[in-house]
Structure 1
């Protein structure tokens, strides 16, 4: 099984673009336009999808190196500020890369480098199904 180098189907619908992928660092962008809630602000669910996308891809690279695949186990998010336009950038870096668990810190920043959201994401490494 190969490691994804393209966004998931949901990621593609949200306009997520992968800029850098790897176990030690993954970076992706997403437009605000088209991903807003009724008040015109970037939707928290879209932010969660972006954070999970970038961390899961990073964890996938780590898992692949161990002959495993990764599945999401836990996500914790804090939204720090709202944004109405532009592009947000998510960066995932590892907090722990083990044989069974990979956890990542994800920061999402706006065009002005303001912190919009931060995440802690944990993935479980499991054997691939036949």
Structure 2
């Protein structure tokens, strides 16, 4: 089976409809055999009270891109993915603009995937560094 970037991005962006990802305006923009990229605008929708990017919004972006990336490695008709642990270090604040999250696989097991997700600003400065563990489960019909 060959990798089809356009099909992956279309499927991931379709996952966003009527979800938190759509509410936060996340968009999947690039994919490879071992990575997935999504963007999210930084605006009042994702601010905390001081007018900065909310850490929870960064974590939502990280978990969304990492979980979707795990879906690239499973058969969606027979399996589904659940995030089971996430950690985040918020290293730089951001008031406006765009952040980009890139999930790269660290470990791809039969039932556990481990991802590193780097969230950067428009100048490639690191905003948050996250680690996500996902579990692959049999799909319940």
Query: Please, what TM-score do these two structures have when normalized by structure 2?
Result: 0.84
Q: Distance in 1 between matches of 2:21 and 2:57?
A: 9
User: CA, structure 1 residues 48+29, in 2 after alignment: closer, same or farther (shift >3 Å)?
Assistant: same
Deviation at 1:79, TM superposition (A): 0.4
Give runs of aligned pairs for residues 46-65 of structure 1, distance below 5 A: 46-64=57-75
RCO higher in 1 or 2 (8 Å CA, sep ≥ 6)?
Answer: 1
Distance in 1 (alpha carbons) for counterparts of 2:62 and 2:32 = 15
Question: Equivalent of 1:95, from 97, 106, 109?
Answer: 106
CA shift for structure 1 position 21: 3.9
Counterparts of 1:17 and 1:11 in 2: how far apart (Å)?
A: 8
1:5 to 12, 15, 40: 12
Q: Is the 8 A contact 1:68 1:127 kept in 2?
A: yes
Which of 7, 17, 25 is the aligned partner of 1:15? 25
Alignment RMSD: 1.8
Find the partner of 1:113 among 112, 121, 124. 124
Cα distance in structure 1, aligned partners of 2:121 and 2:133: 24
Structure 1 segments of 4 or more deviating over 6 A?
none
Matched, 1:69 2:80: yes
Q: Decide which moves more: 105-114 or 18-27.
A: 18-27
- Aligned-pair CA distance for 1:13: 0.3
Structure 1 length-normalised TM: 0.91
Aligned length: 128
Superposed displacement of residue 66, structure 1: 9.8
Q: Which runs of 5+ in 2 are unaligned?
A: 1-7
